[in-house]
Amino acid sequence: MRIRLNLATSPMENDHRFVFGAAILGTVAVVALLGLSWKVYNVRQADKARRAEISQLQDEVDRLSEQRAQMESFFNSPNVMVVRDRSAFLNSLIQERSFPWTRIFMDFEHLLPEGVRIVNIGPRLVASHVELHLSVAAANHDASLKFIRALEQSPSFSRVALLAETRPVQSNDADHVYLELVAWYEAAEGTE
């Protein structure tokens, strides 16, 4: 039998397991540090590239905003405003000339009852339809009602709205009822 006897004043300790564990833990910590350092480096590089891209985009936005301001000041200058107003006026004349007057008069010829006459027609192109403002004179109330019903039942007219109905004070006038109407006009296809 063997007896271990330690005659030293301080007993000898075996630190091999501690040193081995500390070396493994230190190695893992160094690897983790290197991995995290690499990750931080990549994140910083990506952030730097993103900041450069954002800066470039902001410069582009600033440049385009400056161009827009220059264009707005150009288009709002008095000379250009005169040209824009003139072109809008000419476009309205072209649209008025292209209005199907023959078709609308043919449609009214079929719709007007006896005792009703159209005093004024004001066409206006609104979005994709023609809006008509009509001033109508009628001999009596029944004739005016017949005309409104005929407009409402016509396929060429829609959204008929009565704006005003007036009666003249003087009784010697042949027309006893005056109407102000608004209606959308859509000409039937194939008629000219």
Residue 43 lies in a domain: yes
Q: Please give the Cα distance from 144 to 26 (Å, whole number).
A: 103
Q: Are residues 107 and 151 in the same domain?
A: yes
CATH code (residue 118): 3.30.70.60
Number of domains in the chain: 2
Q: Are residues 70 and 131 in the same domain?
A: no
Residue 180 lies in a domain: yes
Q: Please give the Cα distance from 182 to 161 (Å, whole number).
A: 5
Residue 63 lies in a domain: yes
CB-based contact 180:133 (threshold 8 Å): yes
**pLDDT-wise least confident of 4-18, 21-35, 63-77, 145-159:** 4-18
Average pLDDT, the chain: 84
Q: What is the CA radius of gyration of the chain?
A: 45
Residue 69 lies in a domain: yes
Confidence band of 15 (pLDDT split at 50, 70, 90) = confident
Average pLDDT for residues 44-58, to the nearest whole number?
A: 94
Confidence band of 191 (pLDDT split at 50, 70, 90) = very low
Q: Are residues 114 and 172 in the same domain?
A: yes
The tokens describing 102, both together, are: 């023959």
Q: Are residues 22 and 70 in the same domain?
A: yes
Q: Are residues 168 and 113 in the same domain?
A: yes
Comparing C-alpha atoms, which of 82, 103, 85, 81 is closest to residue 93? Answer: 85
Looking at residue 6, its pLDDT comes to: 66
The tokens describing 135, both together, are: 């001033």
∠ CA(51), CA(57), CA(58), 5° rounding? 85
pLDDT digits (tens, 9 = 90+) for 99-117: 677 888 888 888 888 888 8
Residue 48 lies in a domain: yes
* Placement of tokens 């410069």 in the chain: 59
Residue 81 lies in a domain: no
Residue 112 lies in a domain: yes
User: Residue 26 is part of which domain span?
Assistant: 16-76
Residue 92 lies in a domain: no
Q: Are residues 113 and 54 in the same domain?
A: no
Confidence band of 12 (pLDDT split at 50, 70, 90) = low
Average pLDDT for residues 72-92, to the nearest whole number?
A: 83
Q: Are residues 128 and 176 in the same domain?
A: yes
